[in-house]
């Protein structure tokens, strides 16, 4: 409940109300807290829901008979319009995916759906409930030439008429394709981790444990429950440091933890420790437990990793990263953050040199080339890269250097997360 003496709720109050609307306890938030909100506060709450990518969940909770009379009508109209727009977008994405799955089935090509589409069709009960920007698909690395041929047959533009998408991104783990008619983006993965920054894991085990998923009338595979929980936590924490992902992964994980039987926490702990994901999975699950009320035993968390010295600080830093008032394209990138938060000048210079002068395969990908081409001199590619980095990151670094408050707030929250998540996992 908001303090009676406070005329205007601050952002922490509104975030608390938003988290209450996402809580597994349908009796939250307190209706009295909502009665304290004015027209501007409702608008700000809608902005936070959009930033957290949970507008549907907010709408669903606020439509409860006990809460609806207190809600400003403009916010309900806004949230309803957002849900309708997401439903229409999901129809286009689903049509795109069904077309791909049908072609893969004809080619006897195994394919796994990741994150959004998998969750939308197995965990949520509405096309509006699980928003997504694109379609994420995983193929075995050994099948990527066949997958490339399938996408070509469907009319997707593959640069340089490459026979294998891996040749277009040899240093990466994915390549984005644009649907020729619907305009949907399809992120084609051949690994779950980014080899430039993250350790490789045993991909074969994921395929062995995969479960069947039906989308439309087509069949696909999806990550097993414990693997999916771990991957969602890893993706939000280690991969994004909670920036740009919103609260959506928390809702996803809370849904996956619910059900007639709990996840096998011992297996999840064993796998995440083996992959080096323990700290990120621990931090994400502890937040889902605290803020959304998911039934995650304390003992299960202890088996995944050791708690940080100041868990409250970690939670605050993650929420600060989620709700940083800055568009994703304007945020400081992972590499800049890692250089800035390095412990010593020697380590900082080493990271900086690696990013300014990366391996040849990274340059090939960055400039849309292939090794099969007659490539320009490496020196010229490095010069072009440095110029591009300066244009992209120069103003951000300058703002940090001169003490810009927004940039310093971003660094403060990210430093706490990076230093703990990237240090040795003792889980």
pLDDT in tens, 278-328: 999 999 999 999 999 999 999 999 999 999 999 999 999 999 889 876 444
Q: Residue 220 belongs to what H/E stretch?
A: strand 218-222
**pLDDT band at 5, cuts 50/70/90?**
very low
What pLDDT is attached to residue 82? Answer: 94
**Using alpha carbons only, what angle is made at residue 350 by residues 352 and 370, rounded to the nearest 5 degrees?**
65
pLDDT tens-digit series, residues 109-161: 999 999 888 898 888 877 778 888 889 999 999 999 999 999 999 999 888 78
Nearest CA among 128, 54, 125 for reference residue 93 = 128
- pLDDT over 50 at 46, yes or no: yes
**Where do runs of H (alpha helix) occur along 197-344?**
203-209, 225-234, 248-257, 265-275, 278-292, 298-304, 311-322, 334-340
Report the DSSP pairing between strands 174-178 and 135-138: unpaired
- pLDDT over 50 at 427, yes or no: no
**pLDDT band at 198, cuts 50/70/90?**
confident
Answer for the pair 273, 78: CB distance below 8 angstroms, yes or no: no
User: What's the pTM value of the predicted model, to 2 decimals?
Assistant: 0.84
Which segment of 95-99, 181-185, 239-243 scores lowest on mean pLDDT?
Answer: 181-185
What pLDDT is attached to residue 292? Answer: 98
Three-state DSSP class for residue 211: strand
- pLDDT over 80 at 396, yes or no: no
What pLDDT is attached to residue 419? Answer: 83
Which segment of 9-23, 124-138, 234-248, 276-290 scores lowest on mean pLDDT?
Answer: 124-138
Greater pLDDT, 187 or 1: 187
Report the DSSP pairing between strands 185-189 and 174-178: antiparallel
Rounded CA gap, 384 and 157, in Å? 25
Three-state DSSP class for residue 264: coil
**pLDDT band at 332, cuts 50/70/90?**
low
Rounded CA gap, 228 and 206, in Å? 10
CATH numbers and ranges of domains, the chain:
11-71 (no CATH), 104-223 (3.30.460.40), 332-421 (no CATH)
- Measured CA distances, 6 to 9, 12, 35, 37 (Å): 7, 13, 13, 11
- pLDDT over 70 at 406, yes or no: no
């Amino acid at each position: 409940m908001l303090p009676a003496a406070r005329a205007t709720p601050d952002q922490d109050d509104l975030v608390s109300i938003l988290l209450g609307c996402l809580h597994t306890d349908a009796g939250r938030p307190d209706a009295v807290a909502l009665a304290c909100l004015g027209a501007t506060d409702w608008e700000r709450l809608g902005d936070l829901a959009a930033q957290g990518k949970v507008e549907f969940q907010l709408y669903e909770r606020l439509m409860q008979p006990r809460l609806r009379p207190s809600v400003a009508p403009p916010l309900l109209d806004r949230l309803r319009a957002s849900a309708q727009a997401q439903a229409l977008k999901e129809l286009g994405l689903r049509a795109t995916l069904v077309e791909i799955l049908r072609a893969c089935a004809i080619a006897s090509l195994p394919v796994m759906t990741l994150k959004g589409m998998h969750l939308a069709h197995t965990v949520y009960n509405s096309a509006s409930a699980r928003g997504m920007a694109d379609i994420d698909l995983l193929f075995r690395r050994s099948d990527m030439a066949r997958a490339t041929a399938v996408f070509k047959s469907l009319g997707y533009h593959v640069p340089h008429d490459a026979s294998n998408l891996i040749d277009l991104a040899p240093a990466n783990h994915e390549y984005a394709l644009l649907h020729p008619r619907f305009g949907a983006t399809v992120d084609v993965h051949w690994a779950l981790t980014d080899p430039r920054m993250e350790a490789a894991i045993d991909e074969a085990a994921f395929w062995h444990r995969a479960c069947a998923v039906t989308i439309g009338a087509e069949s696909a595979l999806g990550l097993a429950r414990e693997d999916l929980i771990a991957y969602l936590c890893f993706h939000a924490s280690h991969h994004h440091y909670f920036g740009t992902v919103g609260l959506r992964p928390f809702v996803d994980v809370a849904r996956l933890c619910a059900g007639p039987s709990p996840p096998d926490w011992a297996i999840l702990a064993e796998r995440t420790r083996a992959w080096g994901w323990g700290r990120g999975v621990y931090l994400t699950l502890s937040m889902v437990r605290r803020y959304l009320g998911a039934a995650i035993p304390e003992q299960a968390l202890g088996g995944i990793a050791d708690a940080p010295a100041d868990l409250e600080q970690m939670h605050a830093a993650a929420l600060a990263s989620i709700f940083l008032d800055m568009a994703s394209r304007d945020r400081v990138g992972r590499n800049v953050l890692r250089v800035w938060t390095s412990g010593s000048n020697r380590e900082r210079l080493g990271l900086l040199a690696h990013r300014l002068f990366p391996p040849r395969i990274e340059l090939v990908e960055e400039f849309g080339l292939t090794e099969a081409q007659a490539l320009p001199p490496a020196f010229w590619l490095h010069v072009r890269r440095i110029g591009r980095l300066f244009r992209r990151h120069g103003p951000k670094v300058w703002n940090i250097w001169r003490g810009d408050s927004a940039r310093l707030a971003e660094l403060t929250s990210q430093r706490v997360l990076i230093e703990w998540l990237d240090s040795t996992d003792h889980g």
